[in-house]
Every structure is written in C-alpha cells, then in structure tokens.
Structure 1
Amino acid sequence: MAQPGDLQALAAAARARLTGAGAEFELTSEQVLGAPTTVLRQRMPSLGEVLRASADWGARDYLITEDRRLSFAEHAAQAAALAAGLRARYGVEKGDRIGILGANTPEWVLGFWAAQALGAIAVGYNAWWMPPEIAYGVGHTEPAVLIVDAKRAALVAELDLRIPVLTMERDVPELIAEYAGAELPEVAVAEDDPSVVIYTSGTSGRPKGAVHTHRNMVAVIDYHRFNYALADQISGARERRFLITSPLFHIASLHNGVVPRLRTGDAAVLYHGAFEADRVLALIERERVTQWGAMPTMATRLLKADLSRYDLSCLTALSLNSAPSSATLQQRLRERIPVARTALVTSYGLTECSTAATISSPAELAAQPQTVGRPVIGADVQIRDADGTRVPDGDEGEIWVRGAYVMLGYWNDAAATAAALTPDRWLRTGDMGTMTDGLLRLSGRRSDLILRGGENVYPVEIEQCLEAHPAVRECAVIGMPDADLGQSIAVLVVVESGTATTEAELRAFAAARLAYYKVPTRWRLTTAPLTRNATGKVVRSGIAV
C-alpha cells in the first residue's frame, strides 16, 4: 500500500501535469469584474452550452430516483421542451426569474436547466419555508413563473400570488409533452450574467439571495472535473454514481451534485423525502452508489442502522459537508463503513462561494480531525484581521475567499453585498479560523449563527417572529449542543406576566410562521428583562435555557 508521503508526491506530479501549459486544466489570471481572478484557460462560456453538449451522453443515466430513471438524452430533450413551453406560454425571456419550490425531483432539475436554456435565472426557494417566508421570497426575486410540488402548492394557495404557478406533478409534464421535439433556444449569455439565486440566512433577519453567475457555475463544474481527473491519474479511471440527499436548494446538491454531472456523464441518484437511514442504505446498494456527500447529521443517523444488512462495497468516496464534524464521528465512520477508512474527507464552504473553498485529503483528515483542508483549485483563501490585513501563519482571524467561485452579490441588496465583498472581490466570510502550513481550521462560525443539521439559522429571524406575539416583550435565541443535529435551538422569552402565554402557544405561533427547523425545541419563559451590554446588545453568553 502506498504511504501518505508517496500519495502526496503522486498527487503533486499529477496536478502539475493537469494544470501545466496546454493541459486541459491550465490556469491563468484574468480580470473578472475588475479584479484579478484565477480561471481555467479552457472553459465553457455558459450553462446553456453545458446543457447543449450533455445530449452527447445519450442513453446513460443522468437522474435516478427510487422509481424513475432519466437519461442524458431524455433530459436534454425535456429541458428543451420545457424551455420552449415557458417562453411560448408564459413569455419567459433572458433575465427573467423562474422560481422553484419543492422537494428533490427530476422536475426540479428540469426547471433549473430550462431556465439556463432561456438565459433566465433559476431561483431555488427553501422548500421548508412557511407561507409568510414564501411570500417574502417571491416578492423579493419576483419570478415570472413559480414551479412547485403538490405539498408546496397547498401552501402557495394560501397566498395572493399574481404569477403563474405550475405543479411538478401535472403542469410541468403536460408542458413538456405539448412542446416535445422543440430545439434548445439560442440565447447569448455572458459569463458574468446571473444563472441562479440561492437563499441563505441573513443577519438582518431576512434570507438573502446569493446570485451565482454562469462563470461561478462553470467553475464549480471544472473544479469537480479536475478532482476526478486527479483521482483517475493516481488510482485509475472508474465509474462514478452520486447520491444526492441534501435539498436541491442547497449548493451541495445543486451546484456540486446534479449540475456537474452534465459534463462528467455520471448518474445523480436523487433521494426524496425525510432522511431515513434504511431507505438511503437500500438506495446505495441498489444503484451501486460510489460517492456520497453527507451532512454530519445524516452520517450520525446512518450509524444507528444495522449496516450489516446492506452491501456498501460500491462506495469509493465519502465526504462530510455543510457543517463541522467531530473527531468522534469521523472515527465511528471509519470503524463501521469500509470506505471511510481510506476515503473520508471534509470541506469548508458557504453559499456565497458556490462550492468548497477548501477540502481535506483522507490522510490530512485522519492526522488532523479538526482541519477542513487546503484551498481548492483556483481558490485563494486567506486569514485577515479586523482591519483586513493578512495575519501570520497560525494566527486566528476572519476567513477571506477570492476566485471564480465567489458570488456576484446579493439580489437587490447593495448594502449587504458591499459588506460581504471588497472592491477587489474578496469575500469576507464572517467565519473565524487559522491557516497553518496551508491547512485551514475553523475556530468558530459566524457570531450568533446556529448550524442545525446543516441549515444556517440566525437568531434574529426567530426573535423577530416571537416578538410579534402580543404577550412577548423580548427574547433571545441561542444554539445548544446536540449530538444528532450539531446544534438545536433554544430560546429565553421575556413575557408580560406569568400567565400571559404558554410554551405550547408560543411554539404553535412560531410553527405557523417559520420553517420547522427554525422553531425552538427548548424554551424558558421569564418576566425578568434580558441582560444587555453598554451598547444595548443582548449578552448571549450567559443565557441558560
């Protein structure tokens, strides 16, 4: 067996071959939006061109569910038909938004690619939103049409939306059938035109729409293509089949899951519904899944199942994404799942940079369980102090990221964009960490941010919701350690009197207005005012719930 040092030398040599002058992944520097940016010299100009070329994969599986299969050729034809129908029936043109609200289905993916074919902008709304949140999102990005599944259609029906709403179960298939045989439209799209908007939690209490361009998306595709080419040079070419368990309104499943498959020709196996370990394991076994990027919460739940009932020998790569993972979880995975002993990795990224900014190798993670790895190809990652000055190796500071992956900005939010992006296109992540010998280690997530099962939750949104209740004077939301979810949500509520309301009433009030994962699970009601500092801010560190 090759030793870690040997593998590092092989990887370095392979990287040099792949990125050298004239090679497929040759790197160069270009001015992008006024800033020097590392890009691939050879790249596709837009996702529309990626879609057009994908038909060449023919009858190979692209999308697989528990009861459906869609080949690349079928997908390209249906995406063309849907694009033609959206343009002819609803007048969707370049720059218009196409909203998508639903669980993971082939129709979700078709809606996304139809938007790219038209030069329109796909908007992935959070499928766990409740009607008030849906109303905000739709009002914010103003889609020309909204594609929803049946469950979300019932929620949308409660709202007075003045836009066409198409169901994934009936309207989308009917439109595809009506315009079957249509050709993909020819639409001129620039690399820095918007491609997709994905919502992320906002510190102001409202979700922010991160705008990703065609350049961003193509760069993500090429990042994955490079990783596979690198692996093939070291270990030999292999077939890859990817399991998609996170929601498609996350970059993990959309940008880094189903989108790159159109260039690599690999299958994406879509898991639908609430996470159930036995269903996931059965799907891995049946479809011979080779790669799975799991949230730590999912991995923890998987370990509670009887793994001996399933053949998991097909798995060749396992990554822990979307939230920090503990050394204990990593070791438990190595003890129970064979692939984790040699191919377990983790990464660090955020919605605003489209993909991972850093990724660890299996050897690095085994030696340093708290690392999140080294910068990916084309990404520049630095640690800066409060003044924006780069700090010495090993010192703590804020993580800054620059590269072709970094978002264009936040949709219709110039102030938030200016706060996140410097004039020379550095993304201030708001996360704290250290960089030592090229390896990044996180020392804390954004201040106050709660990371529950891979979902970012900012306390202010929940606080603003609860403070709308007439019996609530003020409240403070905090994250509490949770062995399953990473963090759970707790709240200290200051009420008018001891009999003004109850925990059950407040829980129901929140559940009617917030996605389920934002509703606190631990409550304490009091009449004593919250402790604040000299500037009037709530002191969260001393709160006990």
Structure 2
Amino acid sequence: MTETVPGRSASPSTLRWTADRSLSEDMRSLLCGPGGPFERTTEEVLGTPVEVFVQRAPHLPAVLAGAAERSPDTEYCVFDGPEPETLTYGEARSLAAAYAEVLASRYCVGKGDRVAVAAPNGREYLLTFWATLSLGAVMVGLNGWWAPAELDHGIALTAPSAVFGLGRPLERLGQTEFAAKGGSLVSLKDLHEAALAVHDPARGLPDVEIAEDDPAAVLFTSGTTNLPKGATLSHRNFVHFGLFGGLGGAVVVVNGGGRYRQIPPDVQRTSICSNPFFHVSGVGPALVIAPSFGSRLVFPEPGRWDAERALRLTDKYKLTQWHGVPTHFWKMLTHPDFEKYSTGQVAVIGSGGSTFAPELLRLFEEKMPGVQITNGYGMTETTGGGTFLNGPEMDGHPASVGAPAPTMEVQVRDPDGVPAAENEVGEIHIRGAGVFLGYWNNPEATAEAFAEDRWYRTGDYGRVIDGVLYLESRMRDLIIRGGENIYPIEIEYRLVEHPSIADAAVIGVPDRILGQQVKAFVVLEPGAEPPSEDDLRAWTAERLASFKVPAFIEFRDALPYNETGKVLKRHLEEEPGTP
C-alpha cells in the first residue's frame, strides 16, 4: 500500500500512497491514467514540489457550481425535523448567490474579509459558508460550544467584518466582551430572510477571481497554550480533501469484490452530517465530498448527538454510510433498540481521531457483517488527511492508523530531524496539498509548525511497521474525548486561577464509550478552604467548553515533579486506582 523513498538514512524515509498499484492495469488507467478523474502529477505548491490531482476544481465555489450544473435537481441536504426540508444542488447555488449579495451589499464583505459564525449545523450556516467563499472571503468557524471568553478570543484574532450566530451559540455571543463593547451580532435567520428578498433562482455565484492557495476558512485547534490557534485552510486544501477521499474509496470498491456490502449504483450515497461545521470533519463532507460525488447529507435537528436518533435517521433516510468517532458507534451498536431499525443498507463506516478497539470491530462483525470500516489519522492542519486505513489493512493492522492518503507524504523523525528506522518512535511529519497555509495572525506558531520544505510537524509521535503508521503518544498529553481534542494545559491554567488552587495537573483516563475522560489533580493554597468538586467544575465551565470540564477531580498535598520542575504525569497515570 505504500512505498518508501530513500532519504538521509537507509531507514524508511517517506511513505507515499501507492494503493492504485493493486488495481488491474485497465482499472488503474481508467481511474488514474491521463484524463482519469484521479490522475496525479507533481507541481510546485507554495514553493515546494508536491503531488496533486490533475482533474481538480480551481476553487470551492467551482465545486458547488459543477454539482449544480451536473444535477441541479438532486438532493444535496435534508434538514430533519417535524417537517423535514430539502435543498437541491441547484437551490444551494442560487440561494448562496443571494446570501452573497446580502453579505456584500449590507455587510461590505469582499475578497479577503472574514465572516465569523457560531451556530449549530443547518441550512443558514451552510449557505453562509458558500456565500462567503464565493466572494473570495474567509469563513471563521467559531466553536459553537465555546464559552464567551473563548469566543472573544476567536473574534479578536480574526477581526471579522460580520459575526453571525444562531441558537445557544448566539446567546453566548451576546455574553461576550465583543457584544458588550457594541460589536454587531446578527442572527442567521435575519440573514436568510434578507437573502430570500433578493433571491433569483436563475442567478449564479459571484464572478470573483480566487486562487487555489487563497485562504478559505479558519478553523480553530486546541492550543498547546491556553489559547486556541486558527488554522488557515486554502481552497486547494479542501478540494484535495474530497479527491483523496474519493480515490481511496474507489480503490476499495474495485478491490473489495463480494467481500463487502456494496451500494447499488442507482442508490444515492447518504450519510448523517453530525460533526459540526467548525470541525474539518463536518465541513469537509458538506463542502467537497457531497457536491463532488453527488451524495446526500442528512442533518439532524440541533442538539447533542444521540444514538437512538442516529439509528432512527438511518432507518428513515436509508443511510448508506455512517461517519463519526468510535464513541458514536459503541453507543449505536449497543443501544437496546438497535434491532428495531434498518441498518442492512449501511455499507461504509468512516471514522478518524482514534483507533478501533478489537471489541468494537468484533461487534461490527456480529451486528453488521460485511460492512466496510475505514479509519484515518489527520488533523485540522492537514484538512483531516494524513493516513488512511481500510479493507485488508484493517484486518492486518487494526491498531494502526494506516498508510498515507493519496497525495500525502508521511515521515517519522527522531529528535534530530532524521527519519527514524522501522519500529522506532519519532515525531510524525506530513506534507502534501492538504497541508494548511499556517496559523492566522500567528507567524511564530506558523514558523514552529513547519520544518524545511513545508513538512508539517504534527506534534504527535508514532512508529512505522510494515509500511503503516502506529500512533505512540501525543505531544503535551493530548486528551481525545469522544473525538474532541483537549490540551490539558488550558484546563490547568483555568484551575490555578481559582483563589483556592495553588497547582493543578490534568490527564486523560480511559473510558469505554468516550475513549478518554478528563481527570484533574489539584493542590490547595496553604490554609485555603477546599472548594467542592462541583464548585471547581462550575469554575472551569465559566471559561471553557463543557467537554473540557473534568469528570474526575482529586485533591493532593503535592504533585510529583522531576528535577527540571516538570510534572511527572506518567506517575499520576500509573497510580493504582486511577480510573
């Protein structure tokens, strides 16, 4: 599945995707040969030669325009509710054009300007995204679960021309300093009504010159400091996200034979879009994968993810694909009413963010035999791309995160920057057309993120075995709770701001359903009255999103430190009784 390219040592240096070599010559020519949909070549991108897809859209608005031209009456989105609403590709294009007119005329949004949104997934959010992109402007995806202080940081960092919200995120925006100082907040409902007033079904998207490497979106990452960073993704990044996912899926379908469930050619691929638009895993399918391949997305009503609702929607809309994190799948497969709902048409399970436990794979085989399971490793900074695991590799290396995705290159390097030998742990580096532009308004962090020739330093550690990547650990003890990345330091900063807390350390502890939970160890100020655990949770929740609030809190007389003053978190993790 991968090839190694000699580098500065005799060890495996660069892993590249070569799964198309497993295809027959005729099929490889059809898919990847000259003029084929997945033809690849090498071009210079931002000063570095990388592999790119030849038959690619020049930018994101062209992706939507192409889908609307090919199949204007095909369903693009279904917004579930008491009275479900649908949106075709043709309607999406014309409504996005109307939104763009309002953004330009009423809010003076033009090329390069930022438009910030904090809202649940929905029609208005999606159309605002498309309208912003069609103007050559940049969408700022504010985390809808953030506390007001975090929202203030995102707004101050990106200086948007307009800030929109909906539902509870709009309420939290109203509690920000930005709002208190007179900053303008607009409901997406108001934007929608204004767009309907100027809507012309015959209108196309604005004619704006957009370069492939122009910024398209700023999506925030959990910071290794106490502040999130804004990863800036380009139009090229997103376009390649769709194409390397499409090629990987095509190869598995061709090689799968009768081993896996198949989606009949006359059935539209349909999946739930439950991941939020401020995550690359949510906005990527909506902006690129669905319109590139004519698939349909079902949007649940706003609210927390619920296993029974996901099963009900699977049955109601005859979903052919599930996308989520292992936590979601555990809850669905073990739901007491699982057998009540139709899941036999589901052919593909797509995931990322953490590996599948052997028990979960066995549960899939028991309850959904023949379903094709795919997993991957990536991050916001790589537009979700990095490595890809499915088919035979899932059987042979289920604990790995797979081989490089198409057009992506992977290296594991030692502390000196030299490629590590087989089975040696090192920092994972990724390069390719999916790698981001940098961190918005943060040149220092951007410089630190890249090695020579635009190799992105992921900060994650792993090892290569038999051409596939295994994750070893996460820099700064990253916690992955239900697919959400949490850096302990931002929680630790908040805890020590409490007047009774002198010191704090936060770790992730295993959880069967969520993958990990947050546990905090705290040390009191001398003579301080100890707050209750609930008081500390409420204190944390005032400034941080709810998923960062510790599930477990333990009071200590002191924390273990080494001679350089670093907390020995491994000691805390290995203590008997740690959940």
User: Aligned partners of 1:249 and 1:33: how far apart in 2?
Assistant: 25
**Secondary structure of residue in 1 paired with 2:277:** coil
Matched, 1:164 2:184: yes
- The SS at the match of 2:559 is coil
**Whole-angstrom CA distance in 1 between matches of 2:20 and 2:167:** 49
**Deviations 1:446-471, CA, capped at 9 Å, x for gaps:** 33111111111011101111111111
**2:273 paired with 1:244:** yes
- Are 1:35 and 2:35 matched, yes or no? no
Any conservation in 2 of the 1:220–1:255 contact (CA below 8 Å)?
yes
Per-residue CA distance 1:1-43 (angstroms, 9 max, x = gap): xxxxx99844786345422234332211111111111111222
Is the 1:11–1:230 contact (alpha carbons within 8 Å) kept by the matching residues of 2? Answer: no
Q: Size of the alignment, in residue pairs?
A: 536
CA deviation map 1:377-405 (0-9, x unaligned): 11111111111111223322111111000
Distance apart, 1:222 and its partner CA: 1.6
Which residue number in structure 2 is paired with residue 199 of structure 1? 220
CA distance in 2 between partners of 1:11 and 1:315 (Å): 27
Give the distance between the partners of 1:257 and 1:73, measured in 2 at CA. Answer: 15
- Is the aligned partner of 1:436 residue 2:455? no
Q: CA deviation at 1:58?
A: 0.9
Is 1:322–2:322 an aligned residue pair?
A: no
- Show the 5 A alignment for 1:83-102: 83-102=100-119
1:46–1:214 CA contact under 8 A, matched in 2: yes
Superposed displacement of residue 127, structure 1:
1.0
Cα RMSD (Å):
2.0
Among candidates 537, 544, 567, match of residue 514 of structure 1: 544
Q: Is the 8 A contact 2:120 2:167 kept in 1?
A: no
SS in 2 for 1:36: strand
Query: Hey, what's the Cα distance between the residues in 1 that align with 2:338 and 2:222?
Result: 35
8 Å CA contact retained: 2:114, 2:139: yes
Q: Which whole-Å CA distance do the structure 1 matches of 2:295 and 2:467 have between them? A: 31
Quote the residue 1:63 is aligned against: 77
Residue from 132, 145, 148 that aligns with 2:162: 145
Matched AA of 2:348: A
CA distance in 1, matches of 2:365, 2:25: 26
Q: State the one-letter code of the partner of 1:123.
A: V
Of the structure 1 ranges 46-55 and 418-427, higher mean CA displacement relative to structure 2 is found in 46-55
**1:323/1:453 contact within 8 Å kept:** no
Where does residue 171 of structure 2 map in the other structure?
154
Contact preservation (8 Å) 1:14, 1:230:
no
Indicate the SS of the match to 1:372.
coil
One-letter code aligned to 1:37: V
* Structure-2-length-normalised TM-score: 0.89
Check 1:15–1:413 CA distance in 2 against 1; reply closer, same or farther (3 A cut): farther
Amino acid at match of 2:460: D
CA distance in 2, matches of 1:358, 1:384: 16
Instruction: Measure, in 1, the Cα distance between the counterparts of 2:234 and 2:72.
Output: 27
| Cα distance per residue 1:285-304 (max 9 Å; x no partner) | 11111111221111111122
- For 1:92 and 1:318, the matched residues in 2 are separated by 39
CA distance in 2, matches of 1:106, 1:191: 26
* Equivalence map 1:338-487=2 (5 Å): 338=369, 341-487=370-516
Query: Which amino acid in 2 is paired with 1:334?
Result: E
What TM-score, normalized by structure 1, do the two folds share? 0.94
Which residue of structure 1 lines up, in the alignment, with residue 16 of structure 2?
none
Q: Which residue of 2 aligns with 1:3?
A: none
Identity %: 36
Residue 63 of structure 1, CA deviation: 0.9
For the residue of structure 1 that corresponds to 2:561, the secondary structure is coil
Distance change >3 Å, CA 287–CA 11, structure 1 → 2: farther
1:324 CA drift (Å):
2.5
Q: Which amino acid is 2:535 matched to?
A: E
Q: Judging changes above 3 Å, is the alpha-carbon distance between structure 1 residues 516 and 454 closer, same or farther for their aligned structure 2 residues?
A: same
* Structure 1 partner of 2:240: 219
Query: Counterpart of 2:314 in 1: which secondary structure?
Result: helix
What is the SS of the residue equivalent to 1:252? helix
Aligned 8 A contact 1:374 1:438 in 2: yes
What SS does the aligned partner of 2:34 have?
Answer: coil
Shift in CA distance, 186/36, structure 1 to aligned 2, threshold 3 Å: same
Q: Could you say what secondary structure the match of 1:260 adopts?
A: helix
Aligned-pair CA distance for 1:231: 4.9
What is the alpha-carbon distance in structure 2 between the residues aligned to residue 13 and residue 327 of structure 1?
37
Seen in structure 2, the aligned counterparts of structure 1 residues 178 and 245 have a Cα distance that, compared at 3 Å, is: same
Give the conservation status (yes or no) of the 8 Å contact 2:533–2:553.
yes
Amino acid at match of 1:18: L
1:178 aligns with 2:197: yes
Cα–Cα, structure 1 residues 270 and 314, in superposed 2: closer, same or farther, change >3 Å? same
What is the deviation of 1:530?
Answer: 2.2
TM-superposition CA deviations, 1:200-251 (whole Å, max 9, x none): 1111121111110011111112223323544565568463112212222111
Q: Given that residues 51 and 117 in structure 1 are in contact (C-alpha distance below 8 angstroms), is that contact kept between their aligned partners in structure 2?
A: no
CA–CA distance in structure 2, aligned partners of residues 330 and 257 of structure 1: 27
Match of 2:343? 312
Partner Cα distance (1:108, 1:259) in 2: 16
Give the Cα–Cα distance (whole angstroms) in 2 for the partners of residues 7 and 536 of structure 1.
Answer: 50
Match of 2:143 among 123, 126, 129: 126
Letter in 2 for 1:165: L
Contact 1:144 1:163 (8 Å CA) reproduced: no
In 2: Cα distance, 1:321 partner to 1:299 partner:
12
SS of 2:401's equivalent in the other structure is strand
- Indicate if the aligned counterparts of 2:323 and 2:349 stay in contact, CA closer than 8 A: yes
- Is the 8 Å Cα contact of residues 100 and 125 (structure 1) preserved in structure 2? yes
**Structure number with higher relative contact order (C-alpha < 8 Å, ≥ 6 residues apart):** 2
Return 5+ residue gaps in structure 1 as ranges: 1-5
* Aligned match of 1:290: 320
**1-structure distance, mates of 2:422, 2:558:** 43
